[in-house]
């Protein structure tokens, strides 16, 4: 892995630097508008080299990771694309993905591939960075149809190298999913804690008697207001969609309470029990022995991202991915490693349905 | 402490039995409609004696604890009141309190004092009972104005003896508080997990990528459908109130997103941060050295419950409470122990404002 440039050395960027530097021979270069954050990152060993500008840090890099606030990403991406070498993949770690992709041209989306590691911390800033932050976490990748296969492979390898689980997904699907499982929960937590503070009888102090459900629901409330205001705005269309649906569901509960409908309430809570159990089981799956899947792919942009996204949507985890390029205008071979024979069979079926010849190639 | 009768030996009743039996010389008698639960409770050492009926178990008891589903409580309370000795306090552990109190006559509320320990477990049934379940938890007591002072003192002592923190509170205030900090969170968790299961893009399996906020918010979803259907119905007026307020707040968030109002969203998340911090601080308070508060009280029902409720609403924790009765129609002395000189001063002020002579009596 060639030099990796990190633009923005906060909690996330700094942790990525620590994780990369713990690998043999990876050089990590950092840039940050805050000189003190940059100095701290250098002192902590999160970066090898501190650079004064984005243009300087991306020079000679094989990967650029933009770890900056969501509204700044399109501008930074454009500058990085202009200054970085042609064999360098540009990515970001913003928690919404459609905005930055839509702000770029199709040509720019050849080298820019969105990313989103689903992790973080209550406390921000490089001082709280830690090497293991990405260990075992889902790291969404949102390659556009134009994404270059070699660069997608490079980025996939980087994500695997720091211990995360790369999952390719369509940017719009990602944003709707995040609205549902992250942004809506944050809104609910905020509204609940505000309502409790405003209206709790017996004084605010009575709330210390609150049970675990309140504590659970409000744990994420109020974290990092500027970050969350920007996330909600950047994903406002999807957040509004899921808010509307959620409000309708609350209205149904209210209606059932109003007509004293025990059967309906039993169904509501029972459905939730089933849903939660299904989610729990899904979370436990996937420790089967690795199996190779070989796919013949044409040497054109988008092929690997199409395949990876198809597998990501089916939640087949690509544990490893490598590309053996063929002759120009010919076919190369994509080698995927997935978990277990069932996943391999399903992967062969999915990519076959998209017109690629594929075969499950035995244990790794 | 005389014999304690537990009606319903499930997770809660069984845990109470274990906690009481770990104290020297407390006899615990149990009854349950399920013979197998009763046998298990006996085998586990959660009760000393298994009785065949409510009437049998309350005979000779000094305290009766009804650990049964909320809809059954009024009927059980009436039967216990009829069969138990006059010096026996009857209580319950239901999570809503107005219903059972309103179902009883003023005379019955002399000996019946509602209770609600704020704890539980994901798994129900006596097999999961444990001695330490009540350790350090808030145990709400909702004495009506008619509650007999001696019986309130008996119940308070029982709660303290099993390691819980008794907090006296008006039953209506309790129910509104629980609607806000427990019942609404359960509704939100259920609606969220149902919405996720119904609408998550990329298939349900994509949800395993959900971050900690989703996991936190949905942890309580779907627990014990019959119990929760009954709790929501028993507290439907308060739940509808808080649902209405909550829905209004969600509408405000949606409106701010619709007009792209970053300032408003910053305020929303910032307010939540402040509220959560205040709640956190409130939860940490109260390890000051114990101080005695002496109150002259007339020998009439309701005096102690009025005082305890006033302190409970101000969230002054009564760590210990004892009554030295005076002559008939005269005054007795109530000895309270509270945490710290500030709390003691505030307690004197609060009970003074209600017409009782009181004084803070130095360290314990």
The closest CB to that of A216, out of B169, B217, B229, belongs to B217
What is the Cα–Cα distance from A91 to A171, expressed in whole angstroms?
13
What local confidence, expressed as pLDDT, does residue A80 receive? 98
Pick the CATH number of B4-169 from 2.40.50.140, 3.40.1160.10, 3.20.20.70, 3.40.50.720: 3.40.50.720
Contact B222 A119 (CB under 8 A): no
Is it the case that residue A229 has pLDDT exceeding 80? yes
| pLDDT score of B202 | 56
**pLDDT band (50, 70, 90) for residue B54:** very high
ipTM reported for the complex surpasses 0.85: no
Write out the CATH class of domain A290-363: alpha beta
Q: Closest by alpha carbon to B140, among B98, B200, B189, B187?
A: B98
Query: What residues pair up with A66 in beta bridges, in sequence order?
Result: A7, A92
CB contact under 8 A, B250 and A247: yes
pLDDT of residue B94: 93
Enumerate residues 6+ apart whose C-beta is below 8 A from A248: none
Chain A residues in contact with B205 (beta carbon < 8 A): 282, 285, 314-315
Tell me, what's the pLDDT at B206?
57
Q: Do domains A175-284 and A290-363 have the same CATH topology?
A: no
A258:B251 CB<8 A: no
Query: What is the rounded CA–CA span in Å between residue B51 and residue B66?
Result: 14
Top-confidence residue, A177 or A29: A29
pLDDT of residue B208: 62
pLDDT for the residue numbered B284:
59
* Cβ distance of B196 and A254 shorter than 8 Å: no
Please give the backbone phi and psi of residue A239, each rounded to the nearest 5 degrees, phi first: -65, -40
As a whole number, mean pLDDT of residues A298-326 equals 83
Tell me the C-alpha distance between A7 and A55, whole Å.
10
Q: Are A126 and A290 in contact (CB under 8 A)?
A: no
- What pLDDT score was predicted for residue B47? 98
φ, ψ at A164 (rounded to 5°): -90, 170
Q: Is the pLDDT of residue B331 over 60?
A: yes
Nearest by Cα to B187 from B138, B235, B139: B235
**Which of B205, B243, B275 lies at the smallest CB-CB distance from A282?**
B205
- The least confident of B61-70, B201-210, B304-313, B347-356 is B201-210
Amino acid B282: pLDDT: 65
pLDDT at B362: 66
Q: pLDDT-based confidence at A191, cuts 50/70/90?
A: very high
Query: Would the pLDDT of A220 be above 80?
Result: yes
Q: Write down the CATH number for the domain with range A175-284.
A: 1.10.3660.10
From first CA to last CA, the distance across chain B in angstroms is 22
A241-289 confidence digits (pLDDT tens): 999 999 999 999 999 999 999 999 999 999 999 988 887 776 555 567 8
Nearest-by-Cβ selection for B314 from A195, A203, A271? A203
Lowest mean pLDDT among A140-144, A145-149, A280-284: A280-284
Nearest to B177 among A169, A200, A222 (CB): A200
Inter-chain touch A188–B217, beta carbons under 8 Å:
yes
Q: Does B194 sit within 8 Å of A177, measured CB to CB?
A: no
Kindly report, residue by residue over A10-45, the tens digit of the pLDDT.
999 999 999 999 998 899 999 999 999 999 999 999
In this complex, which of A192, A226, A249 lies closest to B191 when CB atoms are compared?
A249
pLDDT tens for residues B59-90? Answer: 999 999 999 998 899 999 999 999 999 999 99
**pLDDT at residue number B303:** 85
Q: Please give the pLDDT value at position A362.
A: 66
For B263-321, what is each residue's pLDDT tens digit? 999 999 999 999 888 877 765 555 678 888 999 988 777 888 889 888 888 878 888 88
Per-residue pLDDT, A253: 98
- Compute the average pLDDT of residues B179-208: 82
Cβ pair A208:B312 closer than 8 A: no
Q: Out of A211, A222, A226, whose CB is closest to B118?
A: A211
pLDDT at A317: 81
The full set of domain ranges for chain A reads 4-169, 175-284, 290-363
CA gap A74, A81 in Å, rounded: 10
Write out chain B residues lying below 8 Å of A223, CB-based.
269, 273
pLDDT of residue B122: 66
pLDDT band, residue A219 (cuts 50/70/90):
confident
> Which residues from B are below 8 Å from A180, CB to CB?
195-196, 199-200
Closest residue in A to B314 (Cα–Cα): A202
Closest residue in B to A200 (Cα) is: B177
User: Residue B114: what pLDDT?
Assistant: 97
Q: Do A220 and B201 touch (CB under 8 A)?
A: no
For position A49, what pLDDT does the model report?
97
Lowest average pLDDT, out of A316-325, B140-149, B170-179, goes to A316-325
pLDDT band of residue B45 (cuts 50, 70, 90) is very high
Mean pLDDT of A124-151: 92
User: Which residues in chain B are contacts of A219 at CB distance < 8 A?
Assistant: 212-213, 216
Pure H helices in chain A: 11-21, 35-44, 54-58, 73-83, 98-103, 149-161, 171-178, 184-199, 212-218, 225-234, 236-258, 262-284, 303-313, 341-353
Dump pLDDT digits (tens) for B237-257. Answer: 999 999 999 999 999 999 999
Residues in B touching A246 (Cβ below 8 Å): 191-192, 195, 250
Distance to chain B for A60, nearest Cα, Å: 34
Measured between CA atoms, the residue of chain A closest to residue B313 is A202
Contact B253 A187 (CB under 8 A): yes
């Amino acid at each position: 892995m060639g030099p990796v440039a990190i633009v923005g050395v906060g909690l996330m960027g700094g942790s990525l630097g620590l994780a990369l530097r713990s690998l043999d021979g990876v050089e990590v270069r950092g840039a940050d508008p805050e000189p003190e954050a940059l100095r701290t990152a250098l002192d902590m060993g999160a970066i090898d080299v501190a650079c004064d500008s984005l243009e300087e840090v991306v020079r000679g890099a094989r990967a650029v990771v933009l770890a900056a606030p969501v509204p700044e990403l399109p501008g930074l991406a454009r500058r990085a694309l202009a200054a970085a070498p042609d064999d360098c993949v540009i990515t970001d770690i913003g928690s919404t993905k459609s905005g930055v992709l839509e702000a770029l041209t199709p040509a720019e989306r050849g080298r820019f591939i969105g990313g989103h590691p689903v992790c973080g911390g209550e406390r921000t800033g490089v001082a709280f960075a830690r090497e293991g932050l990405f260990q075992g976490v889902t790291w969404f990748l949102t390659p556009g149809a134009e994404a270059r296969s070699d660069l997608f492979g490079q980025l996939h390898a980087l994500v695997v190298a720091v211990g995360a689980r790369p999952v390719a997904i369509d940017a719009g699907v990602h944003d709707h999913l995040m609205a549902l499982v992250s942004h809506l929960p944050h809104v609910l937590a905020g509204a609940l804690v505000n309502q409790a503070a405003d209206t709790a009888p017996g004084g605010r102090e009575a709330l210390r008697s609150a049970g675990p459900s309140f504590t659970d629901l409000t744990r994420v409330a109020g974290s990092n207001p500027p970050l969350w205001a920007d996330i909600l705005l950047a994903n406002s269309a999807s957040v509004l969609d899921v808010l509307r649906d959620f409000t309708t569901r609350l209205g149904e509960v209210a209606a059932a309470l109003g007509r004293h409908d025990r059967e309906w309430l039993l169904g509501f809570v029972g459905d939730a029990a089933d849903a939660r159990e299904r989610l729990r089981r899904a979370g436990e799956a996937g420790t089967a022995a690795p199996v190779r899947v070989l796919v013949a792919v044409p040497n054109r942009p988008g092929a690997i991202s199409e395949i990876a996204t198809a597998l990501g949507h089916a939640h087949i985890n690509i544990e490893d991915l490598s590309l053996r390029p063929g002759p120009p205008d010919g076919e190369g071979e994509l080698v995927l490693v997935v978990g277990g024979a069932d996943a391999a069979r399903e992967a062969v079926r999915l990519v076959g349905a998209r017109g690629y010849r594929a075969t499950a190639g035995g244990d790794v």
